[in-house]
A and B are shown apart, each in its own frame.
Chain A
């Protein structure tokens, strides 16, 4: 089983690498185009549909600083695919180098227990949960800014801040009454 390890390779100078994992392979493309436009830091973007990553790319792949799972809430398969990919990540990633990004949270067709399920997953792994809007360029640029903020910390490019410290501040928490029925 090929598990992705966080510290088995050397980092690059002023470089940060992000891995975007999305089953639908749609939003990751527009995010990637926006992420590489960052000046000041060289951002490498790797796109995947799911983990495990193919072993052929093992040699040429740089050290991955941040893994982002993009989940489309309108699709149950999207959530299941992200969940299934988690076991191919080494435990070292869950100390601030994994983040969940969710799209279509405002869509009325989404059953409420799916978002609760994602929340519980993110909270149990102590990872941040970001909400993004993927249809407009504004939404894409907002999501890009937030990902860049976390990425720079995870790559060690921000002095006095580490990924573990940041994740402690930003991790997802579930309210104690999450399993109670809500009154919409």
Chain B
């Protein structure tokens, strides 16, 4: 077995936690049950690497088989750094009927035309997501499998999620995606985070939505922490209202885990300092909110009264528009769009 597949296998085995090794290999499907029985999974990782290495040599497997295993592991554990979102713009006529095989062929051929020596692996997950693993090379060198880019696209939606992409590779990937999906352009959707499932759920609204209602719920099951008849909350109605408005703005139940919200301000100074208000140029500053779960924190701020309700559109547009990077200028009352990027 060559050096690259061996090193790749070693790195992969080290990365996969011990208790997930057996299920991942089973999902891979290339090892028969009998072979899996012969492997003792309580050994050290070093010994396991050796054993799997010999099996791979016997079966003459190459890099592409190992990358298959890596893709399977990453699909179940997609938290490998920052994920960024892109949105496809201006669909062509047949954009909504692009199906999997067509997309796969077009993408692979487009990318190979744009850059030689690139290795692409595409897999469709059970939940309609198309996962693409790209190892980039250039005209002179072989694809680098140690720093792959992962791309996830849901067919028939305009959203693409990308991780580990550098600025040189971005135009190539954009071009290939635009051609394969029959759109005209692609732009940055200004949503990024560490957890892939969180940004996907936020964008596709796969969390509990709370809708405004005119009349109070007859069941009154919310906020019933107080059960003793001698304890009475005086302002129960106003705190129930706050909770309702906070949930309408951000959602009920468990919220997708975003880590930050960034506001870039380019507005004129509005305050009491005379010399600052007389300046012509806008003040530039960046405000960043960070938390382990920023939506949960903001909802709590609104329901406990720290943030005034009804929730300001600056905060409520995070889940509404599905973005966590905003540029605010003096032009309009709300956050404005960033410049279009191709």
A residues with a Cβ closer than 8 A to B are 19, 23-25, 29, 32-33, 36, 42-49, 53-54, 56-57, 61
Contacts and interface: CB of A to CB of B under 8 A. Distances in A.
B3 interface: no
B304 to A, nearest CB: 7
Nearest to B242: A49
B50 interface: no
Contacts of B237: 54, 56
B233 to A, nearest CB: 5
Contacts of B304: 24-25
A101 B138 CA distance: 70
A54 B238 contact: yes
Interface residues of B, number: 14
A46 B236 CA distance: 11
A15 to B, nearest CB: 9
B235 A36 contact: no
B234 A33 contact: no
B230 A47 contact: no
B225 interface: yes
B235 A48 contact: yes
A49 B231 contact: no
Contacts of A43: 230
Please classify the interface of chain B as helix (H, G, I), strand (E, B), loop, or mixed, using the class held by over half of its residues.
Answer: loop
A96 B304 CA distance: 31
Contact of B234 (A24, A32, A42, A47): A47
A33 B229 CA distance: 11
Contacts of B228: 32-33, 36
Interface of B: 225-226, 228, 230-235, 237-239, 304-305
A45 B234 contact: no
Contacts of B231: 32-33, 36, 44-47
A53 B228 CA distance: 20
A29 B232 CA distance: 10
A48 B277 CA distance: 41
A42 B230 contact: yes
B243 to A, nearest CB: 12
**Which of B233, B234, B235, B304 has most A Cβ within 10 Å?**
B234
A131 B284 CA distance: 45
Contacts of B226: 29, 32, 47
29 contacts: A19-B234, A24-B304, A25-B239, A29-B225, A32-B228, A32-B231, A33-B231, A42-B230, A43-B230, A44-B230, A44-B231, A44-B232, A45-B230, A45-B232, A46-B231, A46-B232, A47-B233, A47-B234, A48-B235, A49-B235, A49-B239, A49-B305, A53-B234, A53-B235, A54-B237, A54-B238, A57-B232, A57-B234, A61-B234
A144 to B, nearest CB: 13
A36 B239 contact: no
Contacts of B225: 29
A53 B233 CA distance: 10
A149 B16 CA distance: 61
B230 A54 contact: no
A57 B234 CA distance: 7
B303 to A, nearest CB: 10
A33 B226 CA distance: 9
Contact of B230 (A24, A29, A36, A61): A36
Nearest to B232: A46
A4 to B, nearest CB: 10
Contacts of A33: 228, 231
Nearest to B225: A29
Contacts of B239: 25, 49
A61 B238 CA distance: 17
Contacts of A56: 237
Contacts of B235: 48-49, 53-54
Given A25-B304, A45-B231, A47-B234, 18 more contacts: A25-B239, A29-B226, A32-B231, A36-B228, A42-B230, A45-B232, A46-B231, A46-B232, A47-B226, A47-B232, A47-B233, A48-B235, A49-B235, A49-B239, A53-B235, A54-B234, A54-B235, A57-B234
A147 to B, nearest CB: 14
Contacts of A53: 234-235
A38 B184 CA distance: 72
A119 B60 CA distance: 81
Contacts of A54: 234-235, 237-238
A44 B225 CA distance: 16
Contacts of A25: 239, 304
A84 to B, nearest CB: 14
**Which of A19, A53, A54, A56 has most B Cβ within 10 Å?**
A54
